[in-house]
């Protein structure tokens, strides 16, 4: 099991920050985030989780959390008007409880699926009973992950708040069939002052590797994206 711990932030020196001009440019925007939706081929992952007896949304959520952690710029945040980098990012799951109310949980991440999966499963099950203790912090070492299994979509925008606007967000939509494959939409929000299309492409490449070979989540991973 993976113990819960809040990520630790280190201030980034703007004098040596290579994206400083872009960062300062997008700080002038009222809404500096970008929303995009991609369609994922989840055929292999669906077979994998069924064979392993795993929850699909949690497994995909941990793949997304791994991808976020393996792209350094996706660990950058704006906290109290300062640019910082977190040593790691934990998942922040949105869950629908049996009472049809939304609950939130702060998960754990150590990049060991064998430990992270049961730990997050326990956290989520406690959260839907209103027993999640790790709420209310302003720690931004998180990535928002929500699952929407009721309908698919071709575009989705997230609510924007300047307070947490530098935190990436993912939304997974309903599965559907196309050309004998199982697919699902994935909406992504990122702060353009911290990341651009190249960094999202890096995330998507890591995601592609794991969707093509879902067993990769159980093994150490090093990205070869250029």
Whether 106 is covered by a domain: the verdict is yes
Of 64, 31, 26, nearest in space to 157 by CA = 31
- The per-residue pLDDT for range 13-71, each reduced to its tens digit, is 999 999 999 999 999 999 999 999 999 999 999 999 999 999 999 999 999 999 999 99
- The per-residue pLDDT for range 153-171, each reduced to its tens digit, is 999 999 999 999 999 999 9
Whether 91 is covered by a domain: the verdict is yes
Task: Provide the pLDDT confidence category of residue 73 given band limits of 50, 70 and 90.
Answer: very high
Whether 24 is covered by a domain: the verdict is no
pTM score = 0.96
Whether the predicted pLDDT of 152 surpasses 90: yes
Whether 8 is covered by a domain: the verdict is no
> Which residue range(s) make up the domain with 154?
33-214
Total of domains in the chain: 1
- The per-residue pLDDT for range 88-115, each reduced to its tens digit, is 999 999 988 888 888 889 999 999 999 9
- The per-residue pLDDT for range 110-147, each reduced to its tens digit, is 999 999 999 999 999 988 887 776 666 789 999 999 99
CATH at residue 71: 3.30.559.10
Whether 153 is covered by a domain: the verdict is yes
DSSP, residue by residue, 148-173:
-TT---S-------TTTTTS-EEEE-
Whether 17 is covered by a domain: the verdict is no
């Amino acid at each position: 099991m993976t113990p819960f711990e809040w990520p630790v932030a280190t201030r980034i020196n703007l004098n040596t920050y290579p994206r400083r001009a872009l960062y300062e440019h997008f700080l002038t925007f009222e809404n500096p985030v970008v929303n995009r939706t991609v369609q994922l081929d989840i055929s292999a992952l669906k077979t994998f989780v069924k064979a392993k007896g795993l929850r699909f949304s949690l497994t995909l959520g941990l793949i997304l959390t791994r991808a976020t952690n393996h792209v350094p710029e996706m660990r950058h945040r704006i906290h109290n008007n300062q640019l910082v980098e977190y040593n790691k990012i934990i998942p922040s799951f949105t869950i629908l409880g049996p009472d049809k109310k939304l609950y939130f949980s702060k998960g754990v991440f150590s990049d060991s699926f064998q430990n992270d999966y049961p730990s997050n499963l326990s956290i989520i099950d406690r959260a839907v009973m209103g027993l999640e203790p790790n709420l209310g912090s302003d720690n931004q070492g998180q990535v928002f992950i929500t699952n929407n299994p009721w309908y698919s979509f071709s575009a989705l925008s997230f609510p924007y708040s300047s307070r947490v606007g530098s935190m990436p967000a993912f939304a997974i939509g309903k599965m559907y069939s196309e050309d004998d494959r199982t697919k699902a939409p994935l909406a992504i929000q990122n702060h353009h002052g911290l990341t651009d299309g190249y960094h999202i492409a890096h995330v998507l490449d890591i995601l592609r590797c794991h969707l093509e070979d879902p067993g990769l989540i159980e093994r150490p991973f090093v990205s070869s994206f250029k």
